[in-house]
């Protein structure tokens, strides 16, 4: 078996961390640039779990203020 190069390795979406923080009843801090970019991608692409879509909408609504 060969190793998967880092450039093609799967990694969790940055927005999932924010979802997990909210599930624990905590408030996540300000969004990072990576989270903002991921939120835009989630809303454009669709086909993601509802929790992730809601978090993307929330992040962009708060970020737009």
Looking at the structure of the chain, the number of domains it has is 1
Structural domain contains residue 49:
yes
Whether 7 shows a pLDDT value over 60: the answer reads: no
Q: What is the mean pLDDT of the chain?
A: 83
Query: Is residue 50 included in any domain, yes or no?
Result: yes
The residue among 48 and 5 whose pLDDT is bigger is 48
Structure confidence by residue, pLDDT tens digits, 41-60: 999 988 888 888 999 999 99
Residue 2 domain-assigned (yes or no): no
Residue 6 inside a domain? The answer is: no
List Cβ<8 Å contacts ≥24 apart for 27-35: 31/59, 31/62, 31/63, 35/59
Amino acid 11: pLDDT: 63
Range of the domain at 43: 12-23+31-63
CA 9/CA 60 separation, integer angstroms: 27
Q: Give the mean model confidence (pLDDT) for residues 18-39.
A: 91
pTM of the model: 0.74
């Amino acid at each position: 078996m060969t190793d998967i190069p880092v450039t093609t390795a799967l990694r969790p979406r940055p927005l999932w961390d924010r979802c997990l923080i909210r599930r624990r009843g905590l408030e996540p801090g300000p969004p990072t640039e990576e989270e903002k970019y991921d939120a835009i991608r989630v809303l454009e692409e669709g086909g993601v779990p509802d929790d992730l879509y809601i978090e993307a909408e929330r992040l962009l609504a708060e970020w737009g203020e």
